[in-house]
């Protein structure tokens, strides 16, 4: 149909403008996800000499009994949960600090987003060096303070390796949360605090009664972004521990990558991708529900 | 009568100064938290090997414990300059492509009320969250199918696509904040939609383009998993992959000094970007996450 | 020669939001038509429909006998001045003024000539040409916006509240200049405002809109003297016209203890609206026949005049009257004259003006055909 009205012509132009981006998005997002769904119904590995053989839901059945998958899922969950909780706490602290007026605030803000901007893979090396068994600064500091008597192994110990990963991840991504929360803080009108203080509230009551509820939407958004990133965390783990020791820090993302790129088990790798994708989508659905809830609450209170 | 107010004033003063102390302590903690790992790496990169492997650690090396050798080793023993060029080239191309395709799309979504724009935006909002690990398998096949492995395109196209959602969200929020009268006026003046976008709308949103461009550049520069998977030839590798593989040579003793030197050298461009564009980065992150 | 016509124009966003309901009118060369009405009456939508920034749901916009419904704004050969001026902030004044010419690939020489001519016309100094809009005062910006419209030599001018962002003093001065300026252009001008002084002083005709319906289209004098319905009567004129709902008895309307003679009507309704402007109310002289007595409960001093609020004896009804500042009266009670010639009658149900048969000859209102 030939566009006749001004509106139709404008919409046609609009679609032409939006098309290149759409094609790229389809190529980079829709195709790989769709392909993973499709491929997850097939076996394609060294056993089939990389031929694609239909197997129905066999990959998913295999997943149920795959201990390595379940333990990687557990590791991912533990890592994600602990990291995000710490990041939220520290991020709120940083945001509250950066929201104060002080000399040199611009410079401190610059410093505060630096970790976010640096390449994860490269900084993972730095963190591996910090947690080095022999020469690491963590051991050195703990020895000096007297918390330990002799150097301990970090990345070679299942629990401590996970702890080291969490520390590195918290360092790397807390700035992101702090930035989002800071924007939320700046949007809270000062007179709310003044009115509340006149009513006799102390700073802690202010924080609990005003700051936290009004910051809730930002927190949910930040947590959602971080959830997706932490669940897909890859290079930090690959570079720092390689999933070790003995698979103690292997997470879903690493397992997927190894399945595909090391064991060349494409069909099963695709099934793992599909499951991770579904977990993410569910998380997004829950989060958007929470966001709509918190938004209503905030406006309802006023 | 005169005593009581004075006392309370003193009480106030000490309360205020206590608040200041808490504030400055937290500022100090923030700075240490954020900078310590980088500073430690910086210090390591300048220490001679004996000082690096000294127990207890050397925090204040003497003059003869300092060296530039690790930097020399990085730049002479490895194609480090090449990595850097690769990263810069790929990130730059991806950023430009991303802006060139993302900004018009964002404009169409913000203003032209095209049919289906809700679905488009909802899709963008969801995929902005997708981690790379979900995409590498499908893209790996695409790269192989087009035979562009070990080609810059194998990274430029995925990076462009990967950064599009954020670009579209941020630009869309900027576009919808523009006063509509300007575009109406341009229409009456005789501009068609494309002319209006190029001559009126985009020049007014240069700050937003810079903001989103910087974000896209940083993400592309730092990306690891695609760069690791789609490119295997040594001369095509990007900086994160190149540096990470220094640390992976665990068969012999790990070259801590050169790794530290490579870390510092490889992050300097980013540190500069952050120094100059702190405000814009913060603005972009906020617009992308919160407004979306 | 240019003529703008609107035929049965309607704009509907959804069944409940219909900003424009079936409007037809025409504007000729040299005519200055003003759309006025309370906010949300559809007057800005009107202008946007004419410009092509919005498309009508029904009806046609015709410029010079050419239906332009499907022609984009830029090809309609119209110029529009926006309330916010809408100057491009990244372009200099010269680039702003010349932008409609450049996009039409006018030659550089001609652009130069036209800019010179237009800045001369508007008294814009040449030194401003290289500045950015951000460096100009409000008044200068307004002139640049006008210049951008004039430089095109369009067939129709559209102005959307171009004076509302100026301060009061400047506004009066620019208003006078605008009138002269557009007189010399001799093109159809369509102007939108919510300010009745602007509408009265500038227009050759006024179109009063309310809820998307054209209430009256007439000269300022006609609108003021013969409002087509009670809404127009109450909207135009300050202080507002007194509008009193009265019971009818025989040939009279009853106001308290007083009887006001009705015009000759084919049938006398039960109730009727009496309208009289405060400036037509005066203190009664002995020879006045139609008077009411009342209690003065509020006096507002406007400097030049005094505005009295009077409660009519034995009724709840209030009448406001505008008296010369030097006039005096008995503090408590006054007798007001309501001259029959100054009284407007409106139907209670429809609000429409009830035409007294005797005065019909002087009225030529172009009422909408509802």
Disruptive mutation site among A6, A8, A19, A21 for chain B (greatest number of B CBs within 10 Å):
A21
Asked if pLDDT for residue B10 goes beyond 80, the answer is no
Instruction: Name the burial class of residue C330, with classes exposed (0-12), middle (13-18) and buried (19+) by CB atoms within 10 angstroms of its CB.
Output: exposed
Asked if pLDDT for residue B16 goes beyond 80, the answer is no
Q: How confident is the model at residue B7 (pLDDT cuts 50, 70, 90)?
A: very low
Asked if pLDDT for residue A55 goes beyond 90, the answer is no
Greater pLDDT, C319 or C367: C319
Say if the ipTM goes beyond 0.90: no
Mutual angle of helices C108-122 and C93-102, in 10-degree steps: 130
Give the pLDDT of residue A302.
31
Give the pLDDT of residue C95.
94
Q: Could you read off the pLDDT of A11-24 as tens digits, one per residue?
A: 899 999 999 999 99
Q: Could you read off the pLDDT of B241-252 as tens digits, one per residue?
A: 988 887 666 545
pTM for the predicted model, two decimal places: 0.87
Q: Distance from CA of residue B232 to its chain's centroid?
A: 24
Q: Which DSSP helix (H) or strand (E) runs through C182?
A: helix C168-185
Asked if pLDDT for residue C83 goes beyond 70, the answer is yes
Average pLDDT, stretch B181-197? 93
Give the pLDDT of residue C364.
41
Give the pLDDT of residue B290.
61
Answer whether residue A21 is part of any domain: no
Q: CA separation (Å) from B222 to B92, B238, B266, C359?
A: 12, 9, 10, 86
Domain covering C4-230, topology: Rossmann fold (3.40.50)
Chains contacting A (3+ CB pairs below 8 angstroms) = B, C
Domains of chain B: 3-67 (no CATH), 71-287 (1.10.3720.10)
Instruction: Name the burial class of residue B13, with classes exposed (0-12), middle (13-18) and buried (19+) by CB atoms within 10 angstroms of its CB.
Output: exposed
- Of the ranges C80-84, C93-97, C328-332, which one carries the lowest mean pLDDT score? C328-332
> Is there a contact between C199 and C235 (Cβ–Cβ < 8 Å)?
no
Answer whether residue A24 is part of any domain: no
Residue B275 CB coordination number (10 Å)? 12
Report cis status (omega within 30 of 0) of the bond before B56: yes
Q: Calculate what percentage of chain A has a pLDDT beyond 70.
A: 96
Strand C156-160 relative to strand C78-81, pairing:
parallel
| B187 interfacial to chain C (CB closer than 8 Å) | yes
Q: Give how far B143 is from chain A: nearest CA, Å.
A: 11
Alpha helices by DSSP H, chain A: 6-25, 31-39, 58-64, 67-98, 105-117, 120-130, 137-145, 158-186, 190-198, 203-206, 212-231, 235-240, 252-257, 266-301
Strand, helix or coil at C46? helix
Q: How confident is the model at residue C325 (pLDDT cuts 50, 70, 90)?
A: confident
Contacts of B203 in chain C (CB under 8 A): 90
Average pLDDT, stretch C335-343? 90
Residue C339 CB coordination number (10 Å)? 14
Asked if pLDDT for residue B146 goes beyond 70, the answer is yes
Q: Distance from CA of residue C149 to its chain's centroid?
A: 22
Average pLDDT, stretch A141-165? 87
Distance CA B63, CA B158 (A): 47
Over the range B48-67, which residues count as b (16 or more CB within 10 Å of their CB) and which as e?
A: beebbbeeebbeebeeebeb
The structural domains of chain C, with segments of one domain joined by +, span 4-230, 232-347
Q: For residue C84, give the nearest of B181, B186, B203 by CB distance.
A: B181
Contacts of C82 in chain B (CB under 8 A): 181, 184-185
> Is there a contact between C141 and C148 (Cβ–Cβ < 8 Å)?
no
Q: How confident is the model at residue A299 (pLDDT cuts 50, 70, 90)?
A: very low
C367's tokens: 């009422």
Contacts of A9 in chain C (CB under 8 A): 72
Answer whether residue A35 is part of any domain: no
Q: Looking up tokens 């930035």, which residue turns up?
A: A179
Put simply, the chain B residues between 186 and 205 with a CB less than 8 A from any chain A CB are 192-194, 197
Average model confidence (pLDDT) for chain A?
86
Average pLDDT, stretch B141-156? 89
| B184 interfacial to chain C (CB closer than 8 Å) | yes
* Top-confidence range, A86-90, B7-11, B149-153, C41-45: A86-90
Q: Could you read off the pLDDT of B71-123 as tens digits, one per residue?
A: 888 788 778 889 999 999 999 999 999 999 999 999 999 998 888 889 999 89
C109's tokens: 């020489």
Give the pLDDT of residue B13.
60
CA atoms within 13 A on the CB side of B125: 20
Q: Give how far B100 is from chain C: nearest CA, Å.
A: 20
Contacts of B27 in chain A (CB under 8 A): 97, 102, 108
Q: Give how far A10 is from chain C: nearest CA, Å.
A: 10
Disruptive mutation site among C11, C50, C70, C76 for chain A (greatest number of A CBs within 10 Å):
C70
Contacts of B195 in chain C (CB under 8 A): 103
Q: For residue C78, give the nearest of B179, B186, B188 by CB distance.
A: B188
Put simply, the chain A residues between 177 and 196 with a CB less than 8 A from any chain C CB are none
Q: CA separation (Å) from B263 to A5, B36, B206, B245?
A: 58, 14, 32, 12
Greater pLDDT, A139 or C116: C116
The CATH number of residue A176's host domain is 1.10.3720.10
Q: Could you read off the pLDDT of A173-211 as tens digits, one per residue?
A: 999 899 888 888 888 888 888 888 888 778 888 888 888
Contacts of A7 in chain C (CB under 8 A): 55
Put simply, the chain B residues between 134 and 193 with a CB less than 8 A from any chain A CB are 134-142, 157-158, 160-162, 164-165, 168, 192-193
Give the pLDDT of residue B253.
64
What is the count of residue pairs from A and C with beta carbons less than 8 Å apart?
12
Residue B153 CB coordination number (10 Å)? 14
Q: Give how far C11 is from chain A: nearest CA, Å.
A: 14
CA atoms within 13 A on the CB side of A145: 8
Disruptive mutation site among A6, A9, A10 for chain C (greatest number of C CBs within 10 Å):
A6
Average pLDDT, stretch C87-97? 93
Answer whether residue A18 is part of any domain: no
Q: Name the β-bridge partners of C25.
A: C6
Answer whether residue A181 is part of any domain: yes
Count: domains in chain A: 1
Disruptive mutation site among B111, B179, B185 for chain C (greatest number of C CBs within 10 Å):
B185
Distance CA B30, CA B42 (A): 19
Answer whether residue A301 is part of any domain: no
Range of the domain at A73: 51-294
Q: Calculate what percentage of chain B has a pLDDT beyond 90.
A: 33
Q: Could you read off the pLDDT of C359-368 as tens digits, one per residue?
A: 444 444 444 3
Domain covering C232-347, topology: OB fold (Dihydrolipoamide Acetyltransferase, E2P) (2.40.50)
Distance CA B171, CA A189 (A): 26
Put simply, the chain A residues between 54 and 83 with a CB less than 8 A from any chain B CB are none
CB contact under 8 A, B192 and C74: yes
Distance CA A232, CA A253 (A): 5
Strand C58-63 relative to strand C3-11, pairing:
antiparallel
Asked if pLDDT for residue B191 goes beyond 90, the answer is yes
Answer whether residue A5 is part of any domain: no
Q: CA separation (Å) from C322 to B33, B257, C87, C239, C343?
A: 76, 94, 44, 8, 15
Choose among B178, B201, B171: nearest CA to B288. Answer: B171
CB contact under 8 A, A13 and B124: no
Residue C358 CB coordination number (10 Å)? 11
């Amino acid at each position: 149909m030939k566009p006749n009205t001004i509106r139709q012509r404008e919409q046609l132009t609009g679609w032409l403008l939006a098309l290149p981006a759409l094609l790229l998005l389809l190529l980079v997002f829709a195709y790989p996800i769709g392909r993973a769904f499709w491929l997850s119904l097939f076996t394609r590995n060294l056993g089939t000499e990389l031929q694609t053989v239909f197997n129905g839901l066999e990959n998913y059945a295999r997943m149920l009994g795959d201990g390595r998958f379940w333990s990687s899922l557990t590791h991912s969950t533990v890592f994600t949960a602990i990291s995000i909780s710490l990041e939220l706490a520290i991020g709120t602290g940083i945001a509250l600090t950066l929201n104060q007026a002080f000399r040199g605030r611009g410079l401190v803000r610059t410093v505060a987003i630096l970790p976010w901007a640096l390449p994860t893979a490269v900084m993972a090396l730095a963190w591996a060096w910090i947690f080095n068994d022999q020469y690491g600064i963590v051991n050195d500091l703990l020895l000096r303070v007297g918390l330990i008597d002799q150097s301990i192994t970090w990345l070679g110990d299942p629990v401590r390796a996970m702890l080291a990963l969490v520390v590195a991840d918290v360092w790397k991504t807390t700035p992101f949360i702090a930035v989002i929360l800071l924007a939320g803080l700046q949007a809270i009108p000062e007179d709310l605090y003044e009115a509340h203080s006149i009513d006799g509230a102390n700073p802690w009551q202010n924080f609990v009664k005003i700051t936290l509820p009004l910051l809730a939407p930002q927190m949910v958004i930040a947590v959602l972004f971080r959830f997706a990133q932490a669940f897909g965390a890859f290079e930090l783990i690959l570079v720092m521990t390689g999933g070790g020791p003995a698979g103690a820090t292997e997470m879903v993302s690493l397992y997927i990558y190894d399945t595909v790129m090391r064991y060349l088990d494409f069909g099963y790798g695709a099934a793992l991708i599909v499951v991770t994708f579904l977990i993410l989508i569910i998380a997004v659905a829950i989060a958007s529900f929470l966001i709509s809830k918190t938004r209503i609450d905030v406006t309802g209170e006023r | 009568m005169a005593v009581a107010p004075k006392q309370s004033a003193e009480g106030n003063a000490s309360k205020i100064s206590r608040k200041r102390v808490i504030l400055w302590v937290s500022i100090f903690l923030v700075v240490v938290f954020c900078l310590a790992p980088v500073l430690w790496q910086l210090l390591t990169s300048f220490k001679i090997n004996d000082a690096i492997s000294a127990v207890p650690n050397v925090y204040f090396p003497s003059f003869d414990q300092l060296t530039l050798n690790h930097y020399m080793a990085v730049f002479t023993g490895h194609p480090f300059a090449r990595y850097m060029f690769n990263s810069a080239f790929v990130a730059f191309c991806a950023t430009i492509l991303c802006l060139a395709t993302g900004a018009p799309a964002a404009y169409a979504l913000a203003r032209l009320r095209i049919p289906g724009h809700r679905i488009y935006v909802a899709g963008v909002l969801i995929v902005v969250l997708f981690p790379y690990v979900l995409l590498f398998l499908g893209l790996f096949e695409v790269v192989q199918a087009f035979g562009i492995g070990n080609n810059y395109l194998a990274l430029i196209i995925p990076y462009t696509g990967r950064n599009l959602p954020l670009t579209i969200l941020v630009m869309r929020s900027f576009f919808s904040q523009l006063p509509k009268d300007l575009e109406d006026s341009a229409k009456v003046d005789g501009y068609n939609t494309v002319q209006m976008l190029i001559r009126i709308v985009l020049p007014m949103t240069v700050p937003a383009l810079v903001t989103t461009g910087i974000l896209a550049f940083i993400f592309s520069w730092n990306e690891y998993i695609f760069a690791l998977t789609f490119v295997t030839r040594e001369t095509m590798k990007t900086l994160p992959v190149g540096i990470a593989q220094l640390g992976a040579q665990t068969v012999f003793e790990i070259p801590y000094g050169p790794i530290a030197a490579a870390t510092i050298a490889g992050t300097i461009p980013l540190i500069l970007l952050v120094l100059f564009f702190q405000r814009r980065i913060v603005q972009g992150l906020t617009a992308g996450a919160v407004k979306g | 020669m240019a003529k703008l016509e609107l035929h049965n124009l309607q704009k509907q966003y959804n069944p409940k939001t219909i900003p424009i309901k079936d409007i037809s009118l025409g504007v000729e060369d040299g005519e200055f038509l003003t759309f006025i009405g309370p906010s949300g009456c559809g007057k800005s939508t009107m202008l946007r429909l004419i410009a092509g920034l919005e498309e009508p749901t029904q009806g046609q916009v015709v410029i010079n006998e050419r239906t332009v419904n499907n022609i984009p704004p830029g090809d309609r050969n119209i110029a529009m001045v926006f309330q916010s001026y809408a100057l491009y902030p990244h372009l200099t004044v010269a680039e702003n003024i010349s932008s409609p010419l450049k996009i039409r690939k006018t030659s550089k020489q001609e652009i130069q000539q036209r800019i010179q001519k237009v800045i001369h016309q508007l008294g814009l100094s040449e030194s401003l040409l290289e500045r950015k809009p951000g460096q100009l005062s409000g008044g200068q910006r307004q002139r640049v916006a006008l210049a951008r419209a004039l430089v095109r030599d369009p067939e129709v001018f559209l102005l959307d509240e171009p004076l509302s962002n100026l301060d009061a003093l400047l506004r009066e001065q620019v208003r006078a200049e605008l009138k002269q300026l557009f007189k010399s252009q001799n093109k159809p001008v369509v102007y939108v405002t919510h300010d009745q002084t602007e509408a009265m002083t500038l227009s050759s005709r006024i179109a009063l809109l309310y809820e998307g319906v054209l209430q009256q289209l007439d000269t300022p004098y006609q609108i003021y003297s013969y409002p087509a319905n009670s809404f127009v009567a109450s909207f135009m004129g300050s202080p507002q016209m007194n509008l009193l709902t009265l019971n009818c008895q025989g040939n009279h309307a009853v106001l308290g203890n007083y009887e006001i003679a009705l015009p000759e009507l084919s049938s006398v309704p039960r109730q009727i609206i009496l309208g009289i402007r405060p400036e037509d109310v005066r203190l009664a002289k002995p020879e006045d026949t139609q008077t009411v007595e009342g209690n003065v409960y509020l006096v507002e001093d406007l400097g030049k005049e005094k505005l009295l609020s009077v409660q009519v004896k034995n009724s709840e009804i209030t009448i406001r009257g505008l008296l010369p500042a030097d006039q005096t009266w008995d503090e408590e009670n006054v007798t007001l004259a309501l001259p029959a010639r100054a009284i407007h009658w409106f139907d209670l149900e429809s609000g429409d003006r009830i035409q007294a048969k005797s005065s019909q000859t002087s009225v030529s209102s172009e009422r909408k055909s509802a």
